[in-house]
Structure 1
Amino acid sequence: MSNTPKTYELRSDTLTAKFTSHGATLTHLLITDAHGVRRDIVLGFDSPEEYVKAGRGSNPYFGATAGRVCNRITKGTFQLNGQQYQVPVNNGPNSLHGGVNGFDKRQWVGEQITASELRFTYTAQDGEEGYPGVLDVTATYRLDGGDLHIDYEARLNDAANPPDMQTLVNMTNHTYFNLTGLAEPTIVDHVFETTAKNMLELTETQVPTGKVLPTAHTAFDFSARKTFAPGLEPHHEHVKQFKGYDHFFVIHDDSARSPASGVLPPSVAKMSAPSTGISLTLATTARGYQLYTGNFLLGDFTAKASSQPHGVVYGKHAGVCLETSGWVDALSHDAWRKDVVIGKRDVWQQSTLYRFAVAST
């Protein structure tokens, strides 16, 4: 397989999306706003080489597929297959987004199925970044009008693993959205609402304590439409600790697995930019999503040529992520383990829909 990243483009009557095989990454997403202006509403880079370079430094994971396990693992250690595993610690005392060389830095094989559908595949080797088992993974992107579908699938390779092998999988897409295309340099005035009524309590190093907390009457209560601005004021404890929102909102919190891939439940969140009329509605089979307001974007990266205005940088809160996934740090909490552990003949699946629309302003 060639190590040279390849680029791809998908089109619908509403959206144009561009990708690179480096990290199975969404690089551009263009839509015409209420004023007739074509805007690129995701953060990223102009060339695959810039993604490779950024991954060696303060990696923002722009648009990438994060795995084998996204989000954090306490101290990078877990018990499975009757033994203790250690994966790279790359975020304070914890492991983040699959380790030093996670799925976001791997070369995937792309196959353009149609003008509106693209499939990436990758095989992770046993011991890669410390994880057990040879794992075959697929990321499929599809456009349908204003809909962007992302489907993930993972299974242990039948021929390459012993029959009793188990591994863990928890992938997500790490796209940052700015629904003004950077006409507004931050997302603080984006309007957000969600049906999620609970969130995971975090330690000071941003791993879950195991407690599920209600969001009602807190800065995390988005049951009614409001902007991000009030919750990003410096007096909030989560802003003092984490510089903004970087928390997991629980959608499906029953003891069973989340709904089957391809069978999307009703929408769970909606975000809009009043100045452009562009809105995003989220539906997913995942357990929940990480709301991340780009707290650690420090102006290190220049925005794409397709951003407006040209020549600006990605500063703090320039974009917001809605990272759908299973339970965070699941193997540290017995009740959550089954959400991310698979054996042979098991298939880990996750489907997410981002639906875009434009209203008059």
Structure 2
Amino acid sequence: MPLAAHQAALLRLRQRLSSLLHTPRLWNTLVAIYVLVFLVVAISLVSRMHFKNYLSASLLALPALSAAADASDPFKVYNITAENITASFIGYGARIVALYVPDSNGTAQDVIVGYDDPKTYLHDTLTNHTFFGASVGRYANRIKNGTFSIDDHTYHVPTNDNGGADTLHGGTVGYDARNWTVTASSKSSITFSLFDAAFEKFPGDVINYVTFTVDADVTPLNPKGLPQLTSRIVSLSLTEKTPIMLANHIYWNLDAFQQPTILNNTLHMPLATRYVAGDNILVPNGTIIEVSDTPHGTIDYTSAKQVGQDFNYANGICGYNCTGVDTCFINDRQPYYADSGLVPAIHISSPSTGITLDIASNQPAQQVYTCNGQNGTIPIKASQKARNEAAGKGGVDYVNKWGCIVFETEGWIDAINQPEWAQQAIYDTSDAPTVNLATYQFGTL
């Protein structure tokens, strides 16, 4: 057959296949087969490895099907709501951009730091790169020198912090700067997914799901039926051993910017008896220290106290010439709690609005950051300012130093380079999915 005839035949075949794949009945059949194969493999792995408790997590890691997904606009705002709580998200960074809960007067306040215009988050990435409200990964927090080893092979990922001394939150283009797909949504829940095809030179492919849910249901963990945000991050290694550690990077201001700083907020972390020490640029040096051994117990919040109560003694705690907290606190569960499952890790309250926040987490640690790097150049949301002015509250116009606080519930910082800590940081294809579960429960004083 002449070459032209071959090409014509191939073209007709391609057109025929294309038309078939766009036939709804055939597409649905293919999707059903794909799902069935995935479930068989997942259940087989669970059965073979006796991971009874991870079956639901394996199903949650089901890769997103493009036919049911919405990836058209990463800056489209999605709202989820329940009694006394409304949260807003965008697909860019699987990011929370607003969260409204009532203050002690019953007035709804937005307690999230960020921007009213969703596209400003892209500008932020290119300038300040604050990570406001984002889901960060593939490996949250810092990796010393941007290197780690797996089975005697050393990997190098892009360094984007401290002049190239470490990798922060996954590299130059981390998960915070990726366009996540909205896989499912309802009135009270939204799920984002991201397929990581060896981004930023990390080994292997990873599928990630982040689900946010709001509710005010009465449960054993929420006996008063308080408004609550639940975050569930599920990740699965697909092709080879790789580091995985995702986290939420939510900046909180329970004062709703009615005060210049959050230093008079009361903070209580009853399980945070130790912390990971670092060098002058906050890269871990392998040392674990009791919080009670810091000068004047500066960062000892095992008993409730104001965030800034001992900041006169805090110079250098958060790095060279830095005053504040930027610290990985270790949750010592024993003898009070089992090693897994949700535990009450953090309580913080605002005397200005009366809003309280209780965070429960299944993670072994949390990085706490008191916005020491903010310098009053980023404006607060115009909507927050307008709400304060309308209520005669005054407040501030910019995000000041110590004007917010971050709680990243996660694993120990840079554990991939500290094997003596015996913290799992590397996940193989035969391992269960990683699950980072946290609840954020709001009340009033």
TM-score of the pair, normalised by structure 2: 0.74
Q: How does 1:233-244 map to 2 (within 5 A)?
A: 233=312, 236-238=315-317, 241-244=321-324
Q: Write out per-residue CA displacement over residues 149-193 of structure 1, whole angstroms, 9 at most, x where no aligned residue.
A: 111111123xxx2xxx20011111111111111011211111111
Is the 2:146–2:167 Cα contact (8 Å) retained in structure 1? yes
Q: Write out per-residue CA displacement over residues 121-141 of structure 1, whole angstroms, 9 at most, x where no aligned residue.
A: 000112x11111111001111
Q: How does 1:64-213 map to 2 (within 5 A)?
A: 64-92=134-162, 93-126=165-198, 128-145=199-216, 146-157=227-238, 161=239, 165-195=240-270, 196-213=272-289
- The aligned counterpart of 1:230 is 309
Q: Secondary structure at the match of 1:170?
A: coil
1:287 aligns with 2:364: yes
Q: Write out per-residue CA displacement over residues 22-79 of structure 1, whole angstroms, 9 at most, x where no aligned residue.
A: 0000100111111232211010111221011100112111110010011100011111
Q: Write out per-residue CA displacement over residues 225-280 of structure 1, whole angstroms, 9 at most, x where no aligned residue.
A: 211122333763326533310001101478xxx955xx312x12210001211001
- The aligned counterpart of 2:297 is 218
Q: Distance in 1 between matches of 2:196 and 2:329?
A: 29
1:271 aligns with 2:334: no
Count of paired positions: 346
Is the 1:331–1:337 Cα contact (8 Å) retained in structure 2? no
Is the 1:34–1:278 Cα contact (8 Å) retained in structure 2? yes
- The aligned counterpart of 1:313 is 398
Q: Write out per-residue CA displacement over residues 97-141 of structure 1, whole angstroms, 9 at most, x where no aligned residue.
A: 111100000000113432111100000112x11111111001111
Q: Write out per-residue CA displacement over residues 306-361 of structure 1, whole angstroms, 9 at most, x where no aligned residue.
A: 314468111211110011101110111113465221000321111011111113xx
Q: Secondary structure at the match of 2:309?
A: helix
RMSD: 1.9
Is the 2:98–2:110 Cα contact (8 Å) retained in structure 1? yes
Is the 1:42–1:175 Cα contact (8 Å) retained in structure 2? yes
Name the structure with the higher strand share.
1
Q: Secondary structure at the match of 2:321?
A: helix
Query: For structure 2, which runs of at least 5 residues remain unmatched after alignment?
Result: 1-70, 217-226, 390-395
Q: Distance in 2 between matches of 1:293 and 1:248?
A: 12
Structure index of larger Rg: 2
Q: Which has the higher contact order (CA 8 A, sep 6+)?
A: 1
Is the 2:139–2:244 Cα contact (8 Å) retained in structure 1? yes
Deviates more, 1:281-290 or 1:239-248: 239-248
Q: Distance in 1 between matches of 2:285 and 2:108?
A: 44
Q: Secondary structure at the match of 2:310?
A: helix
Q: Secondary structure at the match of 1:68?
A: coil
Q: Distance in 1 between matches of 2:276 and 2:158?
A: 23
Q: Secondary structure at the match of 2:384?
A: coil
Q: Secondary structure at the match of 2:420?
A: helix
Q: Distance in 2 between matches of 1:336 and 1:44?
A: 35
Shift of residue 199 of structure 1? 0.8
Q: How does 1:39-54 map to 2 (within 5 A)?
A: 39-54=109-124
Q: Distance in 2 between matches of 1:70 and 1:247?
A: 14
Is the 2:74–2:180 Cα contact (8 Å) retained in structure 1? no
Is the 2:77–2:89 Cα contact (8 Å) retained in structure 1? yes
Q: Distance in 2 between matches of 1:229 and 1:252?
A: 23
Is the 1:137–1:155 Cα contact (8 Å) retained in structure 2? yes
Deviates more, 1:320-329 or 1:302-311: 302-311
- The aligned counterpart of 2:223 is none
- The aligned counterpart of 2:4 is none
CA 1:319/1:333 → structure 2, altered by over 3 Å: closer, same or farther? same
Is the 2:314–2:323 Cα contact (8 Å) retained in structure 1? no
1:251 to 323, 331, 335: 331
Is the 1:155–1:345 Cα contact (8 Å) retained in structure 2? no
Q: Distance in 2 between matches of 1:13 and 1:3?
A: 28
Q: Secondary structure at the match of 1:280?
A: strand
CA 1:101/1:253 → structure 2, altered by over 3 Å: closer, same or farther? farther
CA 1:31/1:226 → structure 2, altered by over 3 Å: closer, same or farther? same
Question: Sequence identity of aligned pairs in percent?
Answer: 27
CA 1:235/1:326 → structure 2, altered by over 3 Å: closer, same or farther? closer
TM-score of the pair, normalised by structure 1: 0.91
Q: Distance in 1 between matches of 2:208 and 2:314?
A: 42
Deviates more, 1:215-224 or 1:140-149: 215-224
Query: For structure 1, which runs of at least 5 residues remain unmatched after alignment?
Result: none
Q: Secondary structure at the match of 1:307?
A: helix
Is the 2:316–2:323 Cα contact (8 Å) retained in structure 1? no
